Amino acid sequence: MGTTLVFGGAGQLGQCLQHVAQERQLTSLVFLPEAQANILNVDTLTAVFARHQPTYVINCAAYTAVDKAEDEVDLARGVNRDGVENLARLCAAHGSTLIHISTDFVFAGTGNQPLVETDEAAPISIYGLTKLEGEQVIPAHTSRFFILRTSWLYSEYANNFVKTMLRFGKEREELRVIWDQLGTPTYAIDLAGCILTIIESQNQAFGLYHYSNEGVTSWYDFAKAIFELSHTPVRTLPIRTAEYPTKATRPAFSVMDKTKAKTKLQVAIPHWRDSLQVCLGRLEA
């Protein structure tokens, strides 16, 4: 199957890929934390590619501080666009297939129908804009790529909404959570499984895909489900986005249609509540 390099290997998705790779007894993945392989350092990347001669490259490295990106535009663009271009160039030079992770934030979120891959991308934040720019530089350098847009990632690893809610649920009697932003939570273990299925099957259906769990919810209802399934007694109140101002604007509706992923990648996608229950069970174990 050849070697697979994982950039951003110490982050949430990188840790989930390690978890699923161990479950599937895949030993050909090399996990590279930022300190070891910064995607902005071309000399280091060139040496890494020369040493490993990867068949696949998974890019989990990203600037994801959505609000800070409004002030740190150059840094966000460096990681989310220029770093991706570095990887795409090297993948082309070595005949490697690039699997790149993008986001629902490339959309404006003004509609009310599930978003397909051909819908217009019109980001409303610097984070979303730089992630879109990262998507756009890939096909300019290589045709062997999979871009997976995902949303609302959480898992038992790193910092994320589920772990934050569980912590707040123990510390507070009442929480206020936004109810007028709709999307789909994605268990990063499921996304990792999709990525490794692409590699194991040697799928050649290159292109852009949407991948999140099934279903639709608001942040408020997501929080309610977390507390219900974890038996956490906390009063949860719905608030509008306008009552919780942030530096960056978020899409109000970013539910993605996964038909293309299910048919061309041959992956079964669980409902978000089912995956949430699995995650909470692992966190409690």
Q: Which two tokens stand for residue 84?
A: 């991706």
What average pLDDT does the segment 168-187 reach? 97
Q: Are strands 207-210 and 145-150 parallel, antiparallel or unpaired?
A: parallel
Computed over every residue of the chain, the mean pLDDT equals 97
In the prediction, which pLDDT does 259 show? 98
In sequence order, what are the residues at sequence separation of 6 or more whose Cβ sits closer than 8 angstroms to the Cβ of residue 60?
A: 6, 7, 8, 9, 11, 13, 14, 17, 101
Which position has the token pair 């397909």? Answer: 116
* pLDDT of 4 strictly over 80: yes
| Percent of the residues in the chain that have a pLDDT greater than 70, as a whole number | 100
CA distance 57 to 52: 11
In sequence order, what are the residues at sequence separation of 6 or more whose Cβ sits closer than 8 angstroms to the Cβ of residue 88?
A: 98, 137, 138, 140, 141, 142, 145
Amino acid, single-letter form, for residue 7: F
* pLDDT of 36 strictly over 90: no
Model confidence, pTM: 0.97
The DSSP secondary-structure symbol of 78 reads I
CA distance 134 to 147: 10
Q: Which two tokens stand for residue 19?
A: 């978890």
Interval 137-149: pLDDT, tens: 999 999 999 999 9
Q: Which two tokens stand for residue 41?
A: 């350092």
Rg of the chain on CA atoms, in Å: 19
4-160+185-215+256-269: CATH, from 3.40.309.10, 3.20.20.80, 3.40.50.720, 3.20.20.410: 3.40.50.720
Give the residues across from 115 on adjacent strands. 256
Q: What are phi and psi of 174, to 5 degrees?
A: -140, 140
CA distance 77 to 125: 12
CA distance 80 to 130: 6
In the prediction, which pLDDT does 58 show? 98
In the prediction, which pLDDT does 50 show? 97
Interval 195-247: pLDDT, tens: 999 999 999 999 999 999 999 999 999 999 999 999 999 999 999 999 999 99
**Residues making up the chain, counted from first to last:** 285
The catalytic residue positions are 127
Q: Nearest-CA neighbor of 178 among 221, 240, 226?
A: 240
What average pLDDT does the segment 81-97 reach? 98
Contact 188, 157 (CB under 8 A): yes
Q: Strand, coil or helix: what is 268?
A: coil
Q: Nearest-CA neighbor of 136 among 123, 153, 150?
A: 123
Q: Are strands 182-183 and 217-218 parallel, antiparallel or unpaired?
A: antiparallel
pLDDT classification of 267: cutoffs 50, 70, 90? very high
